[in-house]
Structure 1
């Protein structure tokens, strides 16, 4: 039976300010103050706390009004991750205002729309950034003398302190007052709109939303799969499209798969474990063709071969970067949460116990690391304040050798004996051959090697690929899918126009895996990379494998190719970073007029752009071969072979 429009609206709040602002949303509504214990809300993250408190208020009031639309709201003031609630005394109010003085803070209002009879819940939030002026003691005491601060989050009301305290405000002023009128109006309209039954037509790749059309507008549905019929409720907008949540699946799709990972969904590591692997391959191949057409090189799209699947769908990654974080006030180790359509302000860390795309070894290493961190009283590093200790745990594994490297990334750790942790790990995980400590105090969530120290074991682990042995150091770039990389490198050897007399030039060679895999089929290979560490690693790999017809040169492509080459080159292999070739690098390569180009790319957009540059210069596409080296993610590797 279709739901009839609900008419009665109940505001679950005792705040006179919210009552006044609600009157701008709806001419008629009931006010029902709720007596809830906000200390019972477990969430420690400010935004999650505000939303959870709003839900608690709405559900409490809905017990008395089960047929009505009940609106709950909760506003918090947050300084970093610290929640500034309502002060308990004048002294605590003084401390809050002193903490806010001269600094920017966030004001967040969590919103909940609930109907108990239909068990329907819609949540949302609004966010405003407020920067205070430097507050003198006289300013603070003068405001506190008004004695209106006790029921105010953060110990102030913006309508009372005004420009005297506030230097800048970015966002909705009403939100700082405690009730974001425009956001409430939009969410109320969504909540009262009737549900829709739609058929999912496609996946909005490279995102993971199911895609449908309703009332002439595109509908994006997280978690929905091509071919299924779903009952949905619109919950927001993204550009010209609407975003909807699944109420129930009316008719499941044969393309739906059962995720192997218990953390799939909230985890930001994988997007497509709920979609069968054949459909994932279809989406990636189609995406590549579409980007080539959009770049104006439709003729290149016709040269795309069938995508090569990964030999392994799970346990394929040889490297994972895990992060430390906080969840509900406790330290956790895992992966960053997925950014959703309705929550994109920041990414929290999701505590995980296993990682099926990497290795079961996680289940043995994580507990030992977490025990050590807790025993030593180490805290999560805060990139805003620069305070704290632990940041990342990077694991590297030789899929063919079984050797394991653990890299602990922290800020400075004076007085902490990491040799104790290394000894525990190596006793419990015998395959751990290298334990490295990286110090990084930079204000970024990236893994950066400011200082690197070997704590225990060897400085490298080994991996084998195409009969060659490679030494992998903490900073070594090595394709994350060993078995898939082997297929890619074998295809390069098959499709590149090589002969025993060929001279191959490898640009962005890294540690030299492509160059060394080609060396046995040609006269000479020269590799270029801007990282001296990569070049040293490549030279070492050549020595380990007794390959004598390679040379590796440090320097940028732009600088080293500015002069004519000392000897002719027959084939150039280009394997640039995700952004592709710079304009200058492309011009340098084109000026060499090398007969054949082998381009390896991890980004269809930059590949299409650079291919157009080669085609405009007179090259033709011989073949384009996509490889799925990253199952369950939107990423793919592509091999393009071009000739004159």
Structure 2
């Protein structure tokens, strides 16, 4: 079925939303931007709520005033195209506006009202190309690229303009190894592909197929801003007692906390290789411990160690805090929480939980780590009401 319509806004996942006046259904559309007028073709069955379905843009009748020609040749509406930077179709100012809208929608959806928090301007990325310091590509031994959201197959590439110079060189070194019989076939026979992770901390001879690299924030300059934000926040405290850090990784923020006036730090992480890397840094005042932070009764187990802490710093993965049970019973002496999040939905859920337990949002700073994507980083300070 085909229909004409105007894209009114973006979904939480960054897809265009267009309503079909003939059946009163709204459709999610890849490669569309608010203000686009076009012809669309339905591609999927109606979703469970019977209000939404998926469609594809078949003809752009009138482009949005914010639409631009993508700088990358691999961005297109073809099923074989790369979908790693879906917002490259729009100017950067418009991208930032939509990222803020995404955050606001997530907050209002859980129950927050505008007056319950304020947002400073989004901190834009100093580089909109050549910023990314890490990458994961997929290969079947013949082609190499990213998985296309349109087809779920490998979208072959020969370059990637959002990678920094070091990573682009590593990508070229990998491409030069194709075709590679050793990369054909897979333990996952259905997908028949391997993954290769690399970052600007490694040399070409250190590449290992199907092995994850230690996590690091993907935009070096923006990560410096994040670290500076936390450093300034901690410096504003005349006295800092015991600090608990959850999801510390290999110490990106632990290094900043260790420079503060706090008396001690207990840093918890659920990935063993990350906590081992942090332990090797031998930071002053830091006790780095492995813990399954997603375990149902984890906060009861940690209560004795964390109950006298006055500051909590957490930087969880996209899922946020999976368990709230006994959280504030364990953290009974907290005065301040610094929450660093990469997902508006899980942040909003956890922020609402904090609010229900007497905490207010003192400050929110949004930071754009990944231009041309729906991703937005959130830095938040909570204080006890």
| TM norm structure 2 | 0.84
Aligned equivalent of 1:612: 352
Aligned equivalent of 1:252: 63
SS, match of residue 273 in structure 1:
helix
Whole-Å Cα distance in 2 between the matches of residues 210 and 628 of structure 1?
23
Whole-Å Cα distance in 2 between the matches of residues 567 and 362 of structure 1?
43
User: 1:573 and 2:313 equivalent?
Assistant: yes
Whole-Å Cα distance in 2 between the matches of residues 490 and 218 of structure 1?
42
Whole-Å Cα distance in 1 between the matches of residues 86 and 116 of structure 2?
26
SS, match of residue 108 in structure 2:
helix
Aligned equivalent of 1:509: 248
User: 1:488 and 2:232 equivalent?
Assistant: no
* Contact 1:316/1:481 (<8 A) preserved: yes
Whole-Å Cα distance in 2 between the matches of residues 629 and 223 of structure 1?
21
Aligned equivalent of 1:155: none
Aligned equivalent of 2:154: 349
Note the C-alpha offset of 1:301.
5.6
| TM norm structure 1 | 0.52
Aligned equivalent of 2:85: 270
CA deviations over 1:14-58 (Å, ceiling 9, x no partner): xxxxxxxxxxxxxxxxxxxxxxxxxxxxxxxxxxxxxxxxxxxxx
Pair 1:387–1:263, CA change in 2 (3 A): closer
SS, match of residue 565 in structure 1:
helix
* Contact 1:200/1:224 (<8 A) preserved: yes
* Contact 1:355/1:362 (<8 A) preserved: no
CA deviations over 1:517-567 (Å, ceiling 9, x no partner): 1322223333111333222211333x4xxx523332222342685332378
Aligned counterpart for 1:550 among listed residues 277, 286, 292: 286
Note the C-alpha offset of 1:283.
1.2
Aligned equivalent of 2:280: 540
- Cα RMSD after superposing both structures: 3.0
Note the C-alpha offset of 1:371.
4.9
Pair 1:382–1:540, CA change in 2 (3 A): closer
Aligned equivalent of 2:96: 281
* Contact 2:240/2:310 (<8 A) preserved: no
* Contact 2:230/2:256 (<8 A) preserved: no
Larger RCO, structure (CA 8 Å, separation 6 or more) = 2
Aligned equivalent of 1:643: 383
Aligned equivalent of 1:377: 181
User: 1:391 and 2:206 equivalent?
Assistant: no
SS, match of residue 228 in structure 2:
helix
User: Max radius of gyration: which structure?
Assistant: 1
CA deviations over 1:434-487 (Å, ceiling 9, x no partner): x1435xxxxxxxx5x4xxxxxxxxxxxxxxxxxxxxxxxx63221111111111
Stretches of structure 2 that go unaligned for 5 or more consecutive residues are: none
Whole-Å Cα distance in 2 between the matches of residues 352 and 359 of structure 1?
16
Aligned equivalent of 1:226: 34
Whole-Å Cα distance in 2 between the matches of residues 199 and 372 of structure 1?
45
Aligned equivalent of 2:208: 437
* Contact 2:364/2:378 (<8 A) preserved: yes
Pair 1:635–1:300, CA change in 2 (3 A): farther
Aligned residue pairs total 368
SS, match of residue 303 in structure 2:
coil
Whole-Å Cα distance in 2 between the matches of residues 482 and 392 of structure 1?
23
* Contact 2:87/2:373 (<8 A) preserved: yes
